[in-house]
């Protein structure tokens, strides 16, 4: 699968570029050998936005820090029962 297209190549191979992006790869569109646009799938964009939302959540970041430092507390699933 090709991941980089010039604008001229993209005009001829739009469907292939879209299929590549749908498969999860980032497709780069270039003009004069410089990247000008990146195409990503809706699923990948959604995952990126979700990650950005989590990283902006102070409570989540505190818990993530605790997990990474080994200070996170875990409870058995059985403790959820009545």
Pairing of strands 4-6, 27-31: parallel
Whose structure tokens read 């569109």? 29
Over the stretch 16-74, which tens digit does the pLDDT of each residue have? 999 999 999 999 999 999 999 999 999 999 999 999 999 999 999 999 999 999 998 88
Q: Where are the domains of the chain?
A: 4-40, 43-71
Q: Is the pLDDT of residue 82 over 70?
A: no
Residue 69: helix, strand or coil by DSSP? helix
- Kindly list the distances between the CA atom of residue 21 and the CA atoms of 2, 35, 73, in Å, as whole numbers in the listed order: 10, 16, 39
Q: Sorting pLDDT into bands at 50, 70 and 90, what band is 15?
A: very high
Q: What is the pTM of this model?
A: 0.70
């Amino acid at each position: 699968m090709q991941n980089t297209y010039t604008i001229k190549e993209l005009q001829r191979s739009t469907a292939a570029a879209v299929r590549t992006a749908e498969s999860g790869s980032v497709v780069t569109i270039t003009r004069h050998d410089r990247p000008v646009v990146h195409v990503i799938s809706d699923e990948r964009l959604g995952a990126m936005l979700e990650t950005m939302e989590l990283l902006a959540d102070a409570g989540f970041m505190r818990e993530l820090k605790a997990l990474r430092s080994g200070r996170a507390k875990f409870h058995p699933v059985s403790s959820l029962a009545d």
